[in-house]
Amino acid sequence: MIETIEIEAGGLRFRADVAGPEDGTAAIFLHGFPNSRHSWGRQIEAAAEAGFRAIAPDQRGYAPGARPDGIDAYHVDHLVADVIALADAAGATRFHLIGHDWGGQIAWLTAIAHPGRLLSLTVLSRPHPAAFARAFQNDPEQAKRSGHHKRFQDPSMADTLLGDDMTALRNTLTWEGGGTFASGGGGRKRRMSDAQVEAHLSVLRDPGALDAALNWYRAAFGGGSTLARADAPRIAVPTLYLWGNEDGTVGRMAAEGTGDFIDAPYRFVEIDGAGHFLAEERPADVNEALLAHLESNDG
């Protein structure tokens, strides 16, 4: 059974969904934008049933007790430090790390900065930063797919997205290519149920939460983008990368190029007909690949 608790870590208090035996190997799940801890319900259940201690926090800015002021407080270095603080709070010397979208970005950077702490790495949708950078240079469509990164620099964007009953965010979560995100090859296919959408919006409806979530993008572009970096180091952790081939924000070049930057056992899973929000849209496919990866690297 999934329990919602607060975890004190690094001087902040993170709201988190947890399940599984407390003495099980920790598996930490990091959500993206405009998502929340609610992304991972099916994965938490599956991991817990397999004997892992699954932990899915509302991350910095999303949780009321972990919402510091100022854009600089959302620099990726702080976001990576939060992951390690959460693992320490769980008593996990080593742990499995799973991330989607922005959570995937932080998962990549955690694997780069703290490879000795990770038993395995799993990333959904977001490519390795160097593969992302290469795609920006060589795939004209990737810049269009990622156009929202620049739009989110607008200081009034939180108010804009909260307007009209959060229709833009609602469309982004419901329809591939809808609302806030740039259109890709996926067209207008439904990706998430109304209940799942409302769960995410219940977290972001707080103006402070939405503005803090946008600060992730603002901090990333403050001193040059930390989202796509050609000089991003290679990965030395066993890695699973999952990508839906109808993802409206990540093209094939970036996805297929991710393997070029992994110096460890690596598996790339392309999910046919799936969009950006893989955990919600295709939970069975995600869980099958994820559990095999966790169990084969749990030592």
Task: Tell me the CA distances in angstroms from 284 to 17, 38, 245, one per residue in order.
Answer: 20, 16, 16
Where in the sequence is the domain holding 213, given as residue range(s)?
3-296
What pLDDT, in 10s, does the model give residues 240-256? Answer: 999 999 998 899 999 99
Banded model confidence at residue 186, pLDDT cuts 50, 70, 90:
very low
CATH assignment at residue 238: 3.40.50.1820
Q: How many domains does the chain have?
A: 1
Residue 144's pLDDT is what?
63
Measure the CA–CA gap between 172 and 277, rounded to whole angstroms.
10
- For residue 226, pLDDT over 80 is answered with no
| 292/144: higher pLDDT | 292
Measure the CA–CA gap between 145 and 243, rounded to whole angstroms.
15
Banded model confidence at residue 229, pLDDT cuts 50, 70, 90:
confident
Angle in degrees, CA 264, 221, 115, rounded to 5? 20
Residue 180's pLDDT is what?
47
Banded model confidence at residue 143, pLDDT cuts 50, 70, 90:
low
Rounded mean pLDDT, 186-203: 86
Average pLDDT, the chain: 90
The residue whose two tokens read 């407080």 is: 73
Residue 135's pLDDT is what?
87
